[in-house]
Structure 1
Amino acid sequence: MQSQQQEAPNGCGCGRGHGRRRQDGAAHGCDLSVAIEVGAPLRVEAHAAVLEALDDEYRARAFYLAVLERFPGALPFAHIVDSEDRHANKLIEILRAYGRDIPANSYIGSDDIRRSVPASRACACDLAVDEEKHNVSLYETRLLPAVVAFPAITHVFTRLMLASRERHLPAFQRWSATYRHWK
């Protein structure tokens, strides 16, 4: 039986040393290094989109932390939870740049979130797959169209969507299969 601490093939690419890195050292799919320059005031719909994106990152991070409470060190949760934190921090940076309030993460420690953690790592990965698919759809259908007039925010949203679609989603899919194989 293999150790549950081993990586899935090809890693998840979240910049934690377990995925491929570009020559410039930034994690492929997770590079959020863009200066947030405030030009025009943040429109109501763009502000709402940033808040919705932050709420989605908060919810995912809280679920991944709850999975780790139940299954300490479970991969890829142990790595991707840090990525979700970086994503939330970039969205917070946007809100600060525009002088907007930063909402607290009301999902952390939530009994509802804790109860949503299934009894197996494989099923937890399956729920995370659904979460990442929802995240990609959210960016494609609602969030990106709301910030098209703000290039820096569009860049951040695009990078967050790509991280979910190209890194997190495949990692959760691989680990779901791996956990089922180990049974």
Structure 2
Amino acid sequence: MTVFEFEGKLLIVDCGVLFPEEHQPGVNVILPDFSYIRDRLDDVVAVVLTHGHEDHIGAVPYLLKERADIPLVGSRLTLAFIEAKLKEHRITPKTVQVKEGDRRTMGGFDLEFVAVNHSIPDSLAVAIRTAAGMVLHTGDFKMDQFPLDRRITDLGAFARLGAEGVDLFLTDSTNADVPGFTTSEKDLAPAIDAVFRT
């Protein structure tokens, strides 16, 4: 969970859970610390969800129990995942569906959404513009040139934003310390297909 503040308004990007490690028996999930925003929930203009993995959406029900009408902004698939999760908690969210290339203004934040490829379809990066500057938050992504959904990371959009001037670049780095490339889902498809055929 990342919180951006501009002129007294707050924008949250992702709101996920962590999973316990072996030395934490009895712990199911680890929630983000909401103490910074708990007394300022009325200042939150939206939660932008970059994709539907639990480490990015899993804590949304706990946040919305604090204030249920915070708008959730995300792609169609990401919103479908969070709506299903919130149904279990009996929460009906206020959602704003976006896709790559869309722009929205939430409070004093001008948001532009960029396609990124990841191990879950319909993932998005977000460029956040304010009068103070621009932040580019990638969410999780990978450089798969042959994804199953044929939707690659939009490097042209990243180049355009870079030329415009990015003041802060935030990127997730899962497995960044592992040499080489992540295997494409396309390369795993034959093995998965064989399992289902046997």
Provide TM-score, normalisation by structure 2. Answer: 0.28
Q: Which structure carries more relative contact order (alpha carbon 8 Å, separation 6+)?
A: 1
Q: Which structure's CA Rg is the greater one? A: 2
In terms of fraction of residues, the more strand-rich structure is: 2
